[in-house]
Amino acid sequence: MNTYDSLNEQQKQGVLTTEGPVLILAGAGSGKTRVLTHRAAYLIGEKGVKPYHIMAITFTNKAASEMRERIDALVGEGAESVWVSTFHSACVRILRRFGERVGYGGGFTIYDADDQKNLMKEVCKRLEIDTKMFSERSFLNVISSAKDELIGPEQFAADAQGDFARSRQAQVYREYQARLHANNAMDFDDLIMKTVELLKFDAEVRAYYQDKIRYLMVDEYQDTNTAQFELIRLLSSGRRNLCVVGDDDQSIYKFRGANIRNILHFEQYFPEAVVIKLEQNYRSTGNILKAANAVIAHNAGRKEKSLWTEADDGDKIEVLQFDSAYEEADEIARRIARRVGNGDCNYGDVAVLYRTNSQSRLLEEKMIMAGIPYKIVGGVNFYARREIKDLLCYLKAADNGRDDLAVARIVNIPKRGIGAVTLAKAAAFAYEKEIDLFGALERAEEIPGLGRSVSKLRPFTDLICDLRESAKDSGPAAILQEVIERTGYVRELEAEHTDEAQARIENIDELMSKAVAYEQEATQAGEEPTLRGFLEEVALVADIDSWDAEASHVVLMTLHSAKGLEFPHVFLSGMEDGLFPSYLSIVADNSDEEIEEERRLCYVGITRAMESLTLTAAKMRMQRGETQYHMLSRFVKEIPDELVAGGLREAKPHEERGAFRGGAHPAVSMHAMKTTPLAAQTYQAKNFGTKIEKTALSYAQGDRVRHGKFGDGTVAAINDGGRDFEVTVDFDTMGRKKMFASFAKLQKID
């Protein structure tokens, strides 16, 4: 049988349509990776394209590794020449070779979020900015957004003229970028932005890569931002053989800069494009897909498509609402334990997904109490842990002598009696002489006022110089071992004799294992393992890359982290208006767009499930130290009744826990809940022992009211949402908005 006979007709069309721009709209679970890998095999085997003229680009190392393995299996010899990479890894590779043309040395350091924050602290201190009023994170977010849109410091400053706040941000942006450059460092946004700059303004480099990459394939295209779109356009504009694969219904990273218009308007950017829809799903049962289709159909900003499957309908979806979040978490744990105990599944078959990280605490507590093995994905990144950062900074200082952040972090680790005053004097000297911090430390005797600190600095500078010599002919594992031995880092931890210290030693052992594994993999690939290569690999790793699909534990993760994964049994917890969709999306100026993004996130959650899906909600939940009351999520109500076990609006109590389906108490219908008289009510908060007073509103439907941000409007509707009232107002200039009364603080006007 021909290799391509296993593909359905739409998949086959995606494989065989090789020339010109192609947009493959790949619904969840429709086999997009299969199409991409077979497409690469077809280009090589049937079209005679040299493997080194093909590039496949995606977002995560995990996805890139999977694609790499599948292409190798299909193509065999020569497949290793296909360039399979993440966006950031591809840009690093380009900049390592041609970075000098945009002002960076080949040994530049890649700064992670922690490095960025530390650098921003220095910038704010130098500019005398009060970080209690303007946080480092707020400046970093503004700068990241600007880089996503390819707006540099100069253009940002020009656009900010006349606006005091934006001008202040421009000043910070300029200084931040100057410090990065002085440190020969780039943040993640720079990797894309500087590569675009290189390709746009250097005709020689652009021509080189356009000739090299004759067929470009891009996965998860709906997640690209403006800078990534421009990178793709520049790389593919030579022959225009661009194939992008994505699903606008799974565009959920707007907060990271993803621009859904890239996929929605693809045919405008590439008028000759061929559009192919993959709608047959190979993952989920019929009822799960029908629920997903019903929810996402409420979005206006999407391309029309509908998932279907040849599989059976399977079990109906369960919707469970509890009095409190404690009961919700408890019942989820009970159900998992019962299913595993009955032999229906293994722990590794189950995922509990939630909208916000804060929801994990209760779930984690209940898993522990029930003796259920679990893992939280998306917690503290391994490489952000203190001991790992310390040792990596030694390696960074050995590799890139201009990295002031790395040097400043480790100059007194272990303690050498070098204090903040000494470091400040050295930094001032470096600034005055226009040299890097390490260069200043090497000239310590020239720095006024250091006194006895000069002798304390010498062992440190000697160590770094020795490590740099070692790096010339030793691999990262040997250099790491040298750091550990000469600093006594592990010996100090062993002397503490605590569980925490032992855990940190185990993390260091894991870092050593990573260094050894890197060397083995590089050697097997015919490459020379280098310190720079190791630092690059660990800098580009993501939390999700460490997820092990074969591990036997329940996975707890946010919905954003779950994208691209699948599980036989899925619990979506916290399905409440105000939590999911979030309160901020409900009251946002562009509420319709924000709600649609939240709905896409719900669609992603639903389509992670293969066999069973359970949606849970709590009437009462502690948030930010306050007990909040919420109505059942509007997304749950968008699922047709016939797809839900017991019927979505049938108020049947759960047989074991007193939970109930349908969003209403067994004694109260949904209609009754929505039409409760607007009188003062008092609620006893279970598990918290506090009484929360909800007073009558000073306005009613039809009254004119004033909002501090949206101005004047007319009350269109008032619904009782439990602890709070949900008020709908038609504002004179801002349109219709829904909000909770306690937050809105509306004032009745005559």
Positions annotated as catalytic residues are 32-33, 219-220, 250, 608
CA proximity to 21, closest of 333, 221, 321, 242: 242
Phi, psi of 218 (to 5 degrees): -125, 125
Residues 6+ positions from 151 with CB-CB distance below 8 Å: 159
In 408-427, which positions are buried (b, 16+ CB within 10 angstroms) versus exposed (e)? bbbbbbeebebeeebbebbb
Residue 606 near residue 290 (C-beta atoms within 8 A): no
**How many whole angstroms separate alpha carbon 548 and alpha carbon 513?**
17
User: Quick one: DSSP state of residue 101?
Assistant: G
> Partners of 245 in the beta sheet?
24
Q: Which two tokens stand for residue 685?
A: 């908060």
Q: Name 692's bridge partners.
A: 683
Q: SS3 for 633-679, per residue?
A: CHHHHCCCHHHECCCCCCCCECCCCCCECCCCCCCCCHHHHHCCCCC
Q: What does residue 260 show for φ and ψ, rounded to 5 degrees?
A: -65, -20
* Cα dihedral: 469, 471, 472, 477 (round 10): 130
- Please say whether the beta carbons of 51 and 79 come within 8 A: yes
* Rounded Cα distance, 183 and 181, in Å: 5
Question: Is the peptide bond prior to 640 cis by the omega test (within 30 degrees of 0)?
Answer: no
| Integer Cα distance of 742 and 76 in angstroms | 64
Beta strand 626-629 pairing with 567-572? unpaired
> Residue 582: how many CA atoms within 13 Å on its side-chain side?
12
Distance CA 87, CA 93 (A): 10
Which whole-number Å values give the CA distances from 153 to 142, 168, 169, 225, 637, in the listed order? 11, 12, 10, 19, 46
The answer to whether 629 and 724 are in contact (CB under 8 A) is yes
Give one word for 278, left, alpha or beta, with left for phi > 0 and alpha for psi -120 to 50.
beta
Please tell me what DSSP assigns to residue 718: E
CB-side exposure of 459: number of CA atoms within 13 Å? 14
**Dist. CA 354–CA 526, nearest whole Å:** 43
The values of phi and psi at residue 436, to 5°, are: -80, 165
Tokens matching residue 527? 């490459």
8-state DSSP, 129: -
Q: CA–CA separation, 623 vs 684, rounded Å?
A: 16
Backbone angles phi, psi at 748, to 5 degrees: -70, 135
